[in-house]
Amino acid sequence: MTIARVLGLLTIFGFVLAAVPKPAPADDTPAPAGNTYIARDHSRKQIYHSPQTPGYTCWVGAWAMPDESLMICFTQATGPLEGRPTMPAELKARWNWPPAGQPNFDFTGLDLHNVYMRSSDEGKTWQQTGAELFHTPGGQMSQGGPQIALPDGAILRAAFGYHLPLDPDVPKTGFLQRSTDGGQTWGDRQVVLDADECTYRITRLRRLRDGRMIALGGIASAESSSVTQEELSAMWRPLFMVSEDEGKSWSPPLEIAGEDERGTWGGEEWDVAELDNGDLLAVFRRFDPKDRTKQARWQGILQKQDDSWSVERLTRSVLPHSGHPELLATREGPVLHIATNGTHWTKDGGETWNELKIQGVQSTFGSHYYPHSLQIADGTIYVFAHTGSHDPYGKDQRVMMDKFRLTEP
């Protein structure tokens, strides 16, 4: 099997099987004098471990609620390490999963839960509010990122039905659901785009300053049952939709990729940060068009045009590849790109990126895997993630929380 094919199979699940990389600088350009930022008062602590050891807890999401409490969600798997059934042969052939020599990437026979937790004391203590049971050979149905609070205290989430092949009633594309009880129960599945014409997946839900909501992810011009995972992975192109009514209805997708790349972009994971002028700074994870055995960061500006945006300066980024991009527009002005291999900041819309150093430490701040961040009213920045990477069942994982403040030295 070629490297390109392996990457295609793995990235359909939204990640690459790899160890967490070491910190690396994004650019040799020094920060302008008097315009340098550091992370001060940094702390890191574990906030959850599975009741089982080794414990499988990963794909953390995080958001603030209207009452200013914090919420997280993550996937937990429990059950025996050995002696479990395996996934159906037909599905194994269509998914080409698990990877050769890695049988514990098959999660058949395990109890999987989407766990929801809430903190009302700025992360000091956490209480579970919900735990939803599901089953899939793929190990997850929603990787934390597509969760957002609604003004009435409900939670809106996106999930990917393609990852729930054992349930015939689930649409095998993206869908939205609402919970009014902290994640204990979920309402009807809302499919936004015609599943006969395309397959889509939402990986981020974000709110703009004007109150509108945006959905980011990937879209492929094929019905999900007509393509293999490898084919679907290669067909992904960026998905961008806007809602003015808290997710009840959505605009048609805005095309992000150029016409010549729409069938070969190869990536559904990206994020945006809203700039002061209403433009959106976007960072993408995609296959490297020069070498599809590798992945790369690309970036661009979505320039605000009345109630919509036009795509400008879509190009390769100096940022190194590291899982799903995570951007945070801070109260202090810089936009942070938070990653396992180092965090970087920009104040010029991504024209330059600078390492974010931890106060008193020479290295840049690096998160755990698949980070999600937020900033509360007092300026504290929270980063939630899981230890390890995309691991097979049996690897011990923990849910972690970093806290720091952004300041000029």
Q: Is residue 19 predicted with pLDDT exceeding 50?
A: no
Residue 385, domain extent: 3-407
**How far is residue 61's CA from residue 59's CA, in Å, rounded to a whole number?**
7
Q: Who wins on pLDDT, 113 or 144?
A: 113
Q: Is residue 363 predicted with pLDDT exceeding 90?
A: no
Note the pTM of the prediction, 2 decimals: 0.92
**The domain that contains 402 carries what CATH number?**
2.120.10.10
> In which band, very low, low, confident or very high, does the pLDDT at 13 lie, cut at 50, 70 and 90?
low
Q: Is residue 17 predicted with pLDDT exceeding 50?
A: no
Sheet with 280-288: strands ordered across: 269-274, 280-288, 291-305, 308-316
Mean pLDDT of 169-196: 98
Residue 239 pLDDT: 98
Mean pLDDT of 22-32: 40
Q: Is residue 261 predicted with pLDDT exceeding 90?
A: no
Q: How many domains does the chain have?
A: 1
